[in-house]
Amino acid sequence: MAEDREWESTETAVAELHKKIKEAFEVFDHESNNTVDVREIGTIIRSLGCCPSEGELHDLIAEVEEEEPTGYIRLEKFLPVMTEVLLERRYRPIPEDVLLRAFEVLDPTKRGFLTKEELIKYMTEEGEPFSQEEMEEMLSAAIDSESNSIHYKDYITMMVVDDN
Amino acid sequence: MGCSDSSFIKDKKSPKVIKAATIIQNWYRGYSARLKARQRHALTVFQSIEYADEQSQMQLSNFFSFMLENYTDEREEDPELIARLFGCNLPDTREDYVKMIDVPDSYDGPRLQFPLTFTDIESLIEGFKQQKILHPHYVLAVLFEAKKVLMQMPNISHISTLLSKEITVCGDLHGKLDDLFLIFYKNGVPSNENPYVFNGDFVDRGKNSIEVLMILLASLLVYPNDLHLNRGNHEDFLMNLRYGFTKEIMQKYRVYGNEILKILEDVYTWLPIATIVDNDILIIHGGLSESTDLNLLHRIERNKMKSVLMPPIPSDGDSAIDLKITKVGSEKIKTSVSLSDQLLQHEWEQVITIFSASNYYEDGSNRGAYLRLSFNTLPKIFQYQVTKATHIRPLYQRVNTVEGSAIRMLKERIIARKTDLVHAFELYDRNKSGKLSLSQWAFSMESVLELNLPWRSLSTRLVLTDRDGNVDYMSSFQNIRIQKPVKEVHSTLIETLYRYRSDLHIIFNIIDTDHSGMISMEEFRTMWKLFKMHYGVPVDDSEVDELANKMDLNKDGSIDFNEFLKAFHVVHRFDPSRKSNKPVVQE
C-alpha cells in the first residue's frame, strides 16, 4: 500500500541518515571507542551541512552531553539528537544572497568592500564575537593585502564555490 | 578617502548590524568547520592507506616464509639461492677499501676527521643546509665506525635523568631533514648536556634520509653515551626498497651506492632495540603487546634480525627462537608503576606516541613533536611544523593541498581495483542504469578496497552524483587510468601488476644480488609462479611471459625488471569537475 511504501522509504531515509552521521562522527573518534571530544562536536555538526549559531550549538551540546560532563560525547547520545536535527532540517545554511545583504548592511555607503579594521571591529565586537584565532583565520583568506580590505562580493563567490 | 569615522555606522548597537554580524559569523564558522572536516577526511585517507600498506607488508613477509618452505626442496639444486635470498652472510666489504676511496680536492662538501668531534657535526649540518652531498668515503667511514660502537651496546640501554640531565625524545623522522634542523634549532644540538633518544624510523619516505642518518650516526660517534638510537621498522633493507631510501642512495651515490647499502644492512642489525629511562620509562619503536617479554628482548641476538619482513634464519648452533617483533609504525613510551630492575611484569600506566616528522603525508598534514624528560616531573611536549612559506597560507589553500594529495592517492587505489569494483557495482545495478544509491556505492567501495573511510563524505570528490543523490558509478574511474605498456593486454593483468608492483619490486631486488637490475628469465618465471600461488592472483603464467616479451625487455635470457615494473603506472588527468577556479597550490 502507498502508506507502507512511504513508511518504508522513511525507514530507509533514517537508516541513511544514521550511516551519514556515524561516518562523520567516526572521523573524529580518535580512540575508536565511539566517543569524540566535545570540542569537535561543532565541527562534526557543521560538516553535516548544518549552521547552528554558537548559542544553538551550546544547547545541542547540552542535549548530548553526559549527566556529569566528561568532556566526551558518546555516539549513542549524539545519533538520535542529530538524526532529529537533520530530519527537521534545522539550522539550514545561510543562502548566498542573505550573506551578501549582511555585508551590505555593514557597508551602507556601498563601497563594495570593508576595510580590515572594520571587519575586525564587527567580527570581534558584535553578534557572537570571533576569537582571535577565528579572526586571523578569516583575515588570511579574505583580505586583499594590497588594499588591506575585503571585497566581499568576490570573497563570497569564491568561498561558496569551494564549499560546494 | 575621507574621514574614517564616516565609514563606521553611527549606532553600532543597532539590531540590523548585530544581525548582519551574526549572519556572517555563523556562515564563516560553518565554512571553516567544513574545511577542517575535509582536512580530517584527508588525514583519514592517508592513515587508512598506510595501515592497508602495513597489512600488505605482512602478506609479503608471509610470502618469504612461504618461499623459504617451498624452496627447501630445491635446496640441493640451488643451495646458493637460499643463502643469497636470506643473506646469511654478507660478503665482507673491508674497511681498508673505504680508505682507498679518494676524496678529490674539488669536493666541496663536509670533510670529516676521525675520531669525530662536535665540529664535524656542525660541519655536516652546515653542509647539508647548503644541500651538499656527503662524499661516499665519509659515508662509509661513518657507517663502519658506527657499527663498531653499536656492537658494544646492549639490546636495551639504560639511561638516567639524574644529575639534572633533561633527555629529549624524538620519534619518526623519515628523512625529513628540515624537521631535524627545526628540532635542533628549538632544542639545541646533541651534546653531553643535551642528550637525545631517537626512536627509530630515521629513514624512508623523506628525501634526505641519508643526511638525517649521517647526522644521527655522527652524533652517536661523538657522544656515544648521550645519543641513543633505537631501531625502527624502517631501519630495514627491505622496507628501504619499498619506501624510498634505497632509491635515494642509488641516486645520490651512483658509484658506491651498493657498497653503502651493504654496510647499512649490517649497521641496522646492530641498532639497539629499546631505551629505558630512570628504570621507569620504556622507549621502543612500535610499542609492546601483552605477550612481549622484555627479558627475552634483553637476551636475543639482535644482529640476527635482518628484516622485520623476514623470518630469522637460525644457522646451525642457534637456539630455535622464533622471533617476530612486529613493528607497526609509531612508537610508544610507557611509564611503569613498579620500579623493578628486571622489568618482568608491568602495569604500564601510560602510553605516549611521539611522531617527529611534520607534514608527513603532505605539506600541511600534521605537526611534529618531541618530548623532554626530567627527573620526577611530567614529560613536556613540544610541537612544531616545518613550512617553506614565509607566511601561513590561508586555511582553504592548505586544505586543498592536503585533500588533493589524499584524493590522488585514493584514486590510484581505486583504479587498481577497477575490475573488481565494476563487478561489485553491477551486482547492485540490476537494470543496468549505470547508477547506484550513495549507500550502495559506499558499501561496494568499502568491501572491495577494504579501506575503512568516510565514503559518503568523500563521494563529492570521487564521483558524480545526480539531483536525486544517485551515483554514476563509472565516474569513479574518471580522470585516471593505468598506462598500458602494450596495446593488446588484459586489463586484469595490468591492474594486478600495478597493484603488486612494490612487492614484486622487493622480491626481484632480493634475487638480483649483484644489483645489476637484471634477473634471469628463469628466475623471473619461478618467482612469478610462487608469487601467483601465494597471492592467489588470477593471471596466467604465459600472459606475464608474453607481456615481458612484447615489452622487449627479454634481453638474452635476462629481464630488466626495473623497466618492467616502471611500465605500470597511472596517469592522472586534470579534474574538470572541480569547478573551483582557485589555483590548487602544490609544491
Do the domain assignments include residue B215? Answer: yes
B354/B513 Cα distance (integer angstroms) = 36
B186/B19 Cα distance (integer angstroms) = 46
Same-domain pairing of B355 and B227: yes
pLDDT in tens, B208-266: 999 999 999 999 999 999 999 999 999 998 889 889 999 999 999 998 998 899 899 99
Question: Is A113 in contact with A151 (CB distance < 8 Å)?
Answer: yes
pLDDT at B96: 72
Please choose, from the candidates B227, B170, B169, B172, the residue with its C-alpha nearest in 3D space to the C-alpha of residue B203.
B172
pLDDT at B11: 52
Given A51, A125, A161, which is nearest B26 (Cβ)? Answer: A51
Do the domain assignments include residue B267? Answer: yes
Q: Which amino acid is at A9?
A: S
Dihedral-angle region of residue A72 (phi above 0 means left; psi in -120 to 50 means alpha; beta otherwise)? beta
Question: Is B194 in contact with B395 (CB distance < 8 Å)?
Answer: no
pLDDT at B26: 94
Best A106, A115, A121, A148 residue to mutate vs chain B (most B CBs within 10 Å): A106
- Cα–Cα distances in Å, from A136 out to A119, A140, A142, A159, B250? 11, 6, 10, 16, 45
Same-domain pairing of B357 and B488: no
pLDDT at A69: 85
Question: Is B230 in contact with B275 (CB distance < 8 Å)?
Answer: yes
User: Does residue B528 surpass a pLDDT of 90?
Assistant: no
Of B87-91, B401-405, B436-440, which gets the smallest average pLDDT? B87-91
- Establish whether domains A1-88 and A96-159 are of one fold: yes
Q: Chain B closest CA to A66's CA: distance in Å?
A: 24
Do the domain assignments include residue B245? Answer: yes
Residue B167 has phi, psi (to 5 degrees) of: -105, 135
Given A46, A105, A109, which is nearest B30 (Cβ)? Answer: A46
B36 contacts on A by Cβ (under 8 Å): 43, 47
User: Does residue B155 surpass a pLDDT of 70?
Assistant: yes
Do the domain assignments include residue B338? Answer: no
Q: Which DSSP string do the residues of B28-56 spell out, in sequence order? A: HHHHHHHHHHHHHHHHHHHHHHHHHHHHH
User: Does residue B363 surpass a pLDDT of 80?
Assistant: yes
pLDDT at B87: 52
Which residues of B are marked as active site? 234
User: Which CATH number belongs to the domain containing residue B555 in this structure?
Assistant: 1.10.238
Residue with cell 571591529: A121
B406 contacts on A by Cβ (under 8 Å): none
Task: State whether A127 and B394 contact (CB < 8 Å).
Answer: no
Task: State whether B456 and A106 contact (CB < 8 Å).
Answer: no
- When the pLDDT of each residue in chain A is averaged and rounded to a whole number, the result is 89
Of B221-235, B376-390, B526-540, B542-556, which gets the smallest average pLDDT? B542-556
Do the domain assignments include residue B49? Answer: no
Do the domain assignments include residue B340? Answer: no
Best A17, A28, A32, A47 residue to mutate vs chain B (most B CBs within 10 Å): A47
Give alpha helix (H) positions in B170-236.
177-187, 209-222
What percentage of chain A carries pLDDT values higher than 90? 71
Same-domain pairing of B127 and B269: yes
Question: Is B232 in contact with B285 (CB distance < 8 Å)?
Answer: yes
Over residues B512-526, the mean pLDDT reads: 79
Terminal-residue alpha carbon distance, chain B: 40
Please choose, from the candidates B375, B426, B364, the residue with its C-alpha nearest in 3D space to the C-alpha of residue B398.
B364
Contacting residues for B126 by C-beta, under 8 A, at least 6 apart: B110
- When the pLDDT of each residue in chain B is averaged and rounded to a whole number, the result is 82
Fold of A1-88: Recoverin; domain 1 (1.10.238)
pLDDT in tens, B34-64: 999 999 999 999 999 988 988 888 888 888 7
Contacting residues for B93 by C-beta, under 8 A, at least 6 apart: B140, B259, B262, B263
Residue with the larger pLDDT of the pair B96 and B490: B490
- Element spanning B566, H or E: helix B561-566
**Number of domains within chain B:** 2
- The chain A residue lying nearest B16, using CA atoms, is A105
B413/B499 Cα distance (integer angstroms) = 8
Terminal-residue alpha carbon distance, chain A: 38
pLDDT at B75: 44
pLDDT at B344: 42
User: Does residue B321 surpass a pLDDT of 60?
Assistant: no
Contacting residues for B565 by C-beta, under 8 A, at least 6 apart: B497, B501, B504, B505, B508
Q: In terms of residues, how long is chain A?
A: 164
Full domain range(s) for residue B210: 109-290+349-378
Query: Which stretches in chain A have pLDDT values below 70?
Result: 1-10, 163-164
What percentage of chain B carries pLDDT values higher than 70? 83
pLDDT at A7: 59
User: Does residue B544 surpass a pLDDT of 70?
Assistant: yes
pLDDT at B177: 96
Please choose, from the candidates B21, B1, B25, the residue with its C-alpha nearest in 3D space to the C-alpha of residue A107.
B21
B26 contacts on A by Cβ (under 8 Å): 51, 53, 94, 128
Query: In the structure, what pLDDT confidence band is assigned to residue B79 with cuts at 50, 70 and 90?
Result: low
B400 contacts on A by Cβ (under 8 Å): 162
Do the domain assignments include residue B36? Answer: no
Query: In the structure, what pLDDT confidence band is assigned to residue B312 with cuts at 50, 70 and 90?
Result: low
pLDDT at B393: 83
Do the domain assignments include residue B217? Answer: yes
Residue with cell 545561510: A94
Same-domain pairing of B369 and B231: yes
User: Does residue B77 surpass a pLDDT of 80?
Assistant: no
B19/B141 Cα distance (integer angstroms) = 71
- Domains in chain A: boundaries: 1-88, 96-159
B533/B542 Cα distance (integer angstroms) = 14
ipTM: 0.92
Q: Which long-range contacts (CB under 8 A, 24 or more apart) does B363-369 make?
A: B363/B387, B363/B388, B363/B398, B363/B401, B363/B402, B363/B587, B364/B393, B364/B398, B364/B399, B364/B401, B364/B402, B365/B42, B365/B43, B365/B46, B365/B402, B366/B43, B368/B171, B368/B176, B368/B179, B368/B182, B368/B183, B369/B171
Question: What number does CATH give the domain A96-159?
Answer: 1.10.238.10
B218/A64 Cα distance (integer angstroms) = 55
User: Which CATH number belongs to the domain containing residue B268 in this structure?
Assistant: 3.60.21.10
Same-domain pairing of B123 and B249: yes
Query: In the structure, what pLDDT confidence band is assigned to residue B580 with cuts at 50, 70 and 90?
Result: very low
Strand partners, B437: B470
- The chain B residue lying nearest A50, using CA atoms, is B30
